[in-house]
Amino acid sequence: MKPELTVVESVAASARDRLLAAGRQALAASGSFSVALSGGSTPKALYRLLQPGDLPWAQVQLFFGDERAVPIDDPRSNYHMTQEAMLDRIAEARAHFLDDPAAYERLLVATLGPRCEFDLMLLGLGVGGHTASLFPGSPALAERDRKVVQAPGVEPAPIRYTVTPPVIWAARRVLVLVSGADKADLVRDAWQRPADYPIGLTWQCEGEVEWLLDPAAAARVGDRP
Ligand code: 6PG
């Protein structure tokens, strides 16, 4: 199904509202809330808005949908970015670093069940057309059994770890966060030709999918194909 597309003044602030609402709902229903975090500058702005009193963070399971193959304290790692943006400020919040795809898959299956169903998955659209660390043409796009794999990326980290399409499809809710004028052409192309971009996987999700764009990123989405 075609995702919903919403244009908002601040992607980070709107994503924060949606994350907290999804969290309260999941915690009330099951006592836990699982989130797949994404890297990138837009999610970083969201993480900076999250506060210690927002949720009972000890009950929130924070994982990464993708990671660069670098040490945990490397500035290139999504973990390191998240630590600086939120984990250092929110004492109760813990995130699981991804440095071994097979072990991470076992952890996801043990925590979320065999299909690795996240309550909420955050995704983005990178300048190279990638989503999580699924780049256009990546062999990981064909993976249907494994939940987390190593995959080729580009600099600054040519080796990546990423969740695979079945994990994206199984998520209960997906938020695609994109901001900035430098993404306007890419957003238009991916929205009009989803089969050509990994973000097009969100057309086949079982759960609710919303693309949250700021006016600059959304500027060309209505261009004539
Ligand atoms: C990564 C990210 C990636 C991200 C996009 C968007 O580690 O490369 O997880 O998939 O979502 O690059 O990043 P921006 O918000 O900075 O455009």
Ligand 1 pocket residues where CB is under 6 Å: 38-42, 66, 78, 124-126, 130-133
Find the 1 Cα to ligand 1 centroid distance in Å: 24
86-115 tens-digit pLDDT: 999 999 999 999 999 999 999 999 999 999
Percent of the residues in the chain that have a pLDDT greater than 90, as a whole number: 97
Find the 29 Cα to ligand 1 centroid distance in Å: 31
Find the 212 Cα to ligand 1 centroid distance in Å: 14
Nearest CA to ligand 1 atom 10: 132
Atom of ligand 1 nearest to the CA of 131: 10
142-174 tens-digit pLDDT: 999 999 999 999 999 999 999 999 999 999 999
49-61 tens-digit pLDDT: 999 999 999 999 9
Nearest CA to ligand 1 atom 11: 124
pLDDT for the residue 224: 85
How much is the pTM? 0.97
Find the 197 Cα to ligand 1 centroid distance in Å: 14
4-49 tens-digit pLDDT: 999 999 999 999 999 999 999 999 999 999 999 999 999 999 999 9
Q: How far apart are CA 153 and CA 88, in angstroms?
A: 28
pLDDT for the residue 63: 98
Find the 178 Cα to ligand 1 centroid distance in Å: 9
Q: How far apart are CA 198 and CA 155, in angstroms?
A: 18
Across the strands, what pairs with 62? Answer: 35, 95
Q: How far apart are CA 195 and CA 198, in angstroms?
A: 8
pLDDT for the residue 96: 98
